[in-house]
Chains A and B, each alone.
Chain A
Amino acid sequence: MKRAASRLAALSLALLAGTPAALPARAQDAPPATRPSDDQAEVLAKVEKYLELAKSGTAAVRPQAARRLAQLGEPARARLVELAGADGAGLAELGPQVVEIAADFGDAGLRAALWRVLADADFPWRGSAARALAKAPVADEGAAFRGLGADHLWQVRFAALDALRALDLRDARAAVRALLVDQEGAVRRAAAALLVDWGEPGALRWLVEELRREDAYFRVPLGAQARFDAHKRLTELLGDDFGFRPGESPATPANAAALARLEAAARERAGDAWPSELPPIARAAGASTGDVLGLELRSCRAGEFYLRWNDADEVHVGTGNAAVVTLAPGTVERLRAGIERRVAELGDTRFWGEAGCDLEQYRCVGADGELRTWLLSKGQASEGDLRPAPLDAVAELLLLTLPDEASADPRLDRLRSRARAALSVLGGAL
């Protein structure tokens, strides 16, 4: 039945193309009765249009086109099955938005294909595949989703929490508690909210603490983003935000008072379950000062790195309450001077590659105090070495200051080797 539907789709598309010579012989010979009606042809044309827009439209249109595709139902399902292939390998070409709706058709084959690509570390849209599966998880997938809680991509871990919530898999509590010390704040917050819903009100403390964050990665206000998310979750859990305004510093008098009221309500609800302290990674970080160099690596395959070197000769690793590596005095100033010499060779060029899922971004506050950025972005079609030689040298200089020993802190564990591997996946081997 499905095969017949895909043949019908292919035939209809060839007819729509209006090039009879291009039609397969069997299609040309087919009796008129097997040709799609005008309505069917219109739907099939929409399938192709939305597939294309979901992949190549503007960023705003892509998710809307994917939703419209899902709403077309059977013809879209049949075409997706055909394009995905039995092993799901074709999903990579369709882009993340189509992957994200691939489970919406309730097709067992597409669902199996999503699990297969999710198991492939080189599949470029693993986060999208995980979100697609987590929207409506199947009861016997509980163990698989629990396993995804240890994935190296935070987007996958986050989706796993959504699935465990939807399945109400309370015997996965231990796995969820483990995510309270996740490197990514969004995962910690989602884990805390889920535990509160599952009867562990002590986890409220993780969310309250996020309201105190004021950290930023250079000009990117990560602390403010965390406050908004925590504010939304706490308002739902406590039924009141007590006047806290997440867009403002938690240190303003009004916000400090609101936070005190909110914390009192959370403590009252938690009772004896309120933790006496939080693990270091979950503690709020204050405003960052003195950062002069930055290396930001984001890869759908190799994970994310947020590294900052400051004028106190420290490397801060990660977001929020970052892990700190202390360097020899004068290291960062020498590093900055070396990097300024290398980037001067780049002239006015600041961007290489094309829009895509993977990027590496170099930041340097020059002697003039101005923050400058150099960005490499790897699109799906990008091939070869994207990184110009001066940035190869910059990357090597930065890597040399990173520790490479084994560490109990996952942010620091063999950091140099992991960052080098991520750089190889992104801009090419050094």
Chain B
Amino acid sequence: MISLRSLLPALLLVGLGAAAPSAEDATVVQMVELNNVEYQIGDDLPDWVIALDGQRIEIAGFMRTGTLEGETWFDLTNDSCGCGTSKLQHFVRVTLESGTTSFTPDELTLTGTFAAGEQEDEDGFVESIYRLTITSL
């Protein structure tokens, strides 16, 4: 039996048109939609982003230049340029469950579990507001 609560994220997404289901049961999310969220530290994220928290999503983007080799995480951006001001809504912090990073300038399409909300480092700096955990690259 499917509960209303389990359907809520999908209903919200369909209603807002921000994302669509993929063929593999993952919700396709456009990086450009995430990048254009109006957000300052301490703000609430929009409902459609909150609705994605904990969901399986598919998203395409580029590794940020400066991605370290052999790490278990990297930042996915809408292009690989590291220029200009970096806003928190401009990237998704991707964590690999296995394997490590090797930089590629090609576009990546990733599927994994999404998380939304501020994550701070030990100094209280917000390190990310969008995160994606994937099995491997």
**Complex CA–CA separation, A96 to B84 (angstroms):** 8
Q: Which residue of A lies closest to B109 (CB)?
A: A219
**Complex CA–CA separation, A202 to B112 (angstroms):** 46
Contact A220 B79 (CB under 8 A): yes
Q: Does B105 contact A (CB under 8 A)?
A: yes
Q: Give the contacting residue for A355; candidates B65, B79, B105, B127; CB below 8 A.
A: B65
Q: Which residue of A lies closest to B121 (CB)?
A: A61
What is the size, in residues, of chain A's interface with B at 8 Å between Cβ atoms? Answer: 42
Q: Which residue of A lies closest to B90 (CB)?
A: A59
Contact B127 A61 (CB under 8 A): yes
Expressed in whole angstroms, the minimum distance between the Cβ of B124 and any Cβ of chain A is 9
**Complex CA–CA separation, A49 to B134 (angstroms):** 33
If A59-B66, A298-B81, A351-B105 touch, whether A247 touches B121 (CB-CB below 8 Å) is no
Contact A221 B65 (CB under 8 A): no
Expressed in whole angstroms, the minimum distance between the Cβ of B28 and any Cβ of chain A is 12
Contact B36 A155 (CB under 8 A): no
Note all chain A residues with C-beta closer than 8 A to B41. Answer: 64
Q: Does A361 contact B (CB under 8 A)?
A: yes
**Complex CA–CA separation, A357 to B41 (angstroms):** 25
Taken residue by residue from 397 to 417, chain A's Cβ proximity to chain B (1 for < 8 Å, 0 otherwise) reads as 000000000000000000000
Note all chain A residues with C-beta closer than 8 A to B81. Answer: 298, 359
Note all chain A residues with C-beta closer than 8 A to B84. Answer: 96, 127, 155
Note all chain B residues with C-beta closer than 8 A to A6. Answer: none
Taken residue by residue from 351 to 382, chain A's Cβ proximity to chain B (1 for < 8 Å, 0 otherwise) reads as 10011110101000000000111110100000
If A60-B128, A61-B125, A361-B80 touch, whether A351 touches B32 (CB-CB below 8 Å) is no
Q: Does A212 contact B (CB under 8 A)?
A: no
Q: Does B30 contact A (CB under 8 A)?
A: yes
Note all chain A residues with C-beta closer than 8 A to B106. Answer: 350, 371-373
Q: Does B85 contact A (CB under 8 A)?
A: yes
Q: Does B58 contact A (CB under 8 A)?
A: no
Note all chain B residues with C-beta closer than 8 A to A301. Answer: none
Q: Does A63 contact B (CB under 8 A)?
A: yes
Taken residue by residue from 64 to 102, chain B's Cβ proximity to chain A (1 for < 8 Å, 0 otherwise) reads as 111000000001001111111111100100000000000
Q: Give the contacting residue for A350; candidates B18, B36, B105; CB below 8 A.
A: B105
What is the size, in residues, of chain B's interface with A at 8 Å between Cβ atoms? Answer: 37
Contact B125 A359 (CB under 8 A): no
Chain B facing A: main interface SS = loop
Q: Give the contacting residue for A60; candidates B18, B83, B127; CB below 8 A.
A: B127
**Complex CA–CA separation, A230 to B76 (angstroms):** 25
Chain A facing B: main interface SS = mixed
**Complex CA–CA separation, A168 to B30 (angstroms):** 37
Q: Does A58 contact B (CB under 8 A)?
A: yes
If A155-B84, A225-B32, A377-B65 touch, whether A58 touches B107 (CB-CB below 8 Å) is no
**Complex CA–CA separation, A221 to B105 (angstroms):** 16
**Complex CA–CA separation, A247 to B28 (angstroms):** 13
Q: Does A182 contact B (CB under 8 A)?
A: no
Which residue, of A59, A219, A221, A373, has the highest number of chain B Cβ atoms within 10 A? A59
Note all chain B residues with C-beta closer than 8 A to A300. Answer: 83
**Complex CA–CA separation, A359 to B80 (angstroms):** 10
Q: Give the contacting residue for B91; candidates A60, A61, A351; CB below 8 A.
A: A60
**Complex CA–CA separation, A370 to B127 (angstroms):** 34
Note all chain A residues with C-beta closer than 8 A to B35. Answer: 225
Q: Does A245 contact B (CB under 8 A)?
A: yes
If A63-B85, A64-B125 touch, whether A374 touches B91 (CB-CB below 8 Å) is no
Contact A371 B65 (CB under 8 A): no
Contact B33 A59 (CB under 8 A): no
Note all chain A residues with C-beta closer than 8 A to B104. Answer: 350-351
**Complex CA–CA separation, A245 to B33 (angstroms):** 10
Q: Does A291 contact B (CB under 8 A)?
A: no
Expressed in whole angstroms, the minimum distance between the Cβ of B36 and any Cβ of chain A is 4
**Complex CA–CA separation, A220 to B83 (angstroms):** 15
Expressed in whole angstroms, the minimum distance between the Cβ of B91 and any Cβ of chain A is 7
Contact B17 A375 (CB under 8 A): no
Contact B32 A354 (CB under 8 A): no
**Complex CA–CA separation, A354 to B67 (angstroms):** 9
Note all chain B residues with C-beta closer than 8 A to A361. Answer: 80, 105
Q: Give the contacting residue for B32; candidates A63, A127, A221; CB below 8 A.
A: A221
**Complex CA–CA separation, A59 to B75 (angstroms):** 9
Taken residue by residue from 113 to 137, chain B's Cβ proximity to chain A (1 for < 8 Å, 0 otherwise) reads as 0000000010101111000000000
A-B pairs with beta carbons under 8 Å apart, 6 shown: A60-B128, A228-B36, A355-B64, A361-B105, A373-B106, A375-B105
A interface list, Cβ under 8 A from B: 53, 57-65, 96-97, 100, 127, 155, 219-221, 224-225, 228, 232, 245-248, 298, 300, 350-351, 354-357, 359, 361, 371-375, 377
Q: Which 4 A-B pairs have the closest CB atoms?
A: A355-B66, A375-B105, A59-B86, A373-B105
B interface list, Cβ under 8 A from A: 17-18, 30, 32-33, 35-36, 38, 41, 60, 64-66, 75, 78-88, 91, 103-107, 121, 123, 125-128
Contacts A62-B86, A221-B32 given; 9 further ones with Cβ under 8 A?
A57-B125, A59-B86, A60-B91, A97-B85, A225-B35, A355-B82, A357-B82, A359-B81, A375-B80
